Amino acid sequence: MIPKSGHRFSEKIARQEKLTMKPAPFIRHVPRTVAEAVKILAEVAPQDGRVLAGGQSLVPIMAFRLAKPAHLVDINEIEELGKVASDGKVLAIGACVRHAAFRKPVTEGPLGALLCDVARHIAHLPIRNRGTFCGSLAHADPASEWCLVAATLGATLVARSTRGERLIAAEDFFQGIMTTALDEDELLAEVRLPLLPADAKFGFNEFNRRAGDFAMSAALVTYRLQDGNMTDVHVGVGGAEPAPRRIPEAEAALNGQAPNDKTFRAAAAAAAKAVDAMEDHQTTADYRRDLVRAVVRRALEHSTQ
Ligand SMILES: Cc1cc2nc3c(=O)[nH]c(=O)nc-3n(C[C@H](O)[C@H](O)[C@H](O)COP(=O)(O)OP(=O)(O)OC[C@H]3O[C@@H](n4cnc5c(N)ncnc54)[C@H](O)[C@@H]3O)c2cc1C
């Protein structure tokens, strides 16, 4: 804003500031209900209108002008989206629930503890205070911890638009690097995670070079024990391929087996072999495959501690 002072110097500075505003101009809409939000989204989506949740991914992209949305539908004033609730079968997490909400267990049993364990690996405190669980899913970074949780546990994602409600299974939702099954006029209103049984074990591990960075590879495992052997095993890997997913080859190596070093190593080797690892400026595919082996084995080891 140009100050009212007639001082030439401050006017010059202000003009420069105006000229150097980081994002491209946009109109911010602030709906108070989901119905209002999806109505606005339907109108503005064809002009690259976007949902604004925590802004922790969208705002930096806008600041670099890699995205220039003409409209933002800011959902932060919609009270009904700020809730976490359990009906005894699933944990429903609304679109405005922040990463920081999970620093303490939000539900009893292993799922609450699992979310708590994973949340502390996401970025840094200021980002966790604003960024949202559903925003991470909608953004779909391959290394996102919440995307890995959703894929491994078999979450159901609830998309809302003026056409109604659509339920999308996590395995159909993540379609590639920052690509999802959401239509441009759909709001991800809620994610539903199945509660884990009281006796479920879990383990999570990720590798990054600096604390708070996105993981170069991450693994989440859950299972139960029956007569000392593992059953109902889920092994998920993130950060290695364009989207997180369960690895059936690793699960097959564990189901019906005792949880010990030998079976853990066999499952980790199966996961490393199964992934079609990405290459980037930091790593080769071989290196990333090796990381998958390490994070799967460590996640399994953590599950017994
Ligand atoms: C330095 C830094 C480090 C980070 N490290 C990590 C990390 O280690 N792990 C990690 O997972 N994340 C990390 N992040 C990203 C952070 O977790 C974001 O909070 C998250 O990715 C997006 O959530 P958000 O609520 O901020 O979404 P926003 O930034 O508001 O939106 C992101 C995208 O999703 C869309 N969107 C958001 N919510 C919805 C919705 N409900 N329905 C439809 N579309 C929606 C937006 O339109 C936008 O395209 C990091 C970010 C920074 C800046």
What is the chain's alpha carbon radius of gyration, rounded to the nearest angstrom? 21
Measured from the CB, is residue 55 less than 6 Å from ligand 1? yes
Give the residue-averaged pLDDT of 125-142.
Answer: 97
Measured from the CB, is residue 73 less than 6 Å from ligand 1? no
Q: What is the pLDDT of residues 11-30, one digit of tens each?
A: 444 455 555 668 999 999 99
Q: What is the pLDDT of residues 248-274, one digit of tens each?
A: 999 999 999 999 999 999 999 999 999
Measured from the CB, is residue 29 less than 6 Å from ligand 1? no
Whole-structure pTM value: 0.93
Which alpha helices (DSSP H) does the chain contain, by range?
A: 8-19, 34-44, 58-63, 110-119, 125-130, 133-139, 145-153, 170-173, 248-254, 261-274, 285-303
Measured from the CB, is residue 56 less than 6 Å from ligand 1? yes
Q: Which atom of ligand 1 is nearest to the CA of 189?
A: 41
281 pLDDT tier (thresholds 50, 70, 90)? confident
Give helix 285-303 / helix 261-274 axis angle, nearest 10°: 150
Instruction: Please state, in angstroms and as integers, the Cα–Cα distance from residue 120 to each residue in 34, 72, 194, following that order.
Output: 29, 29, 21
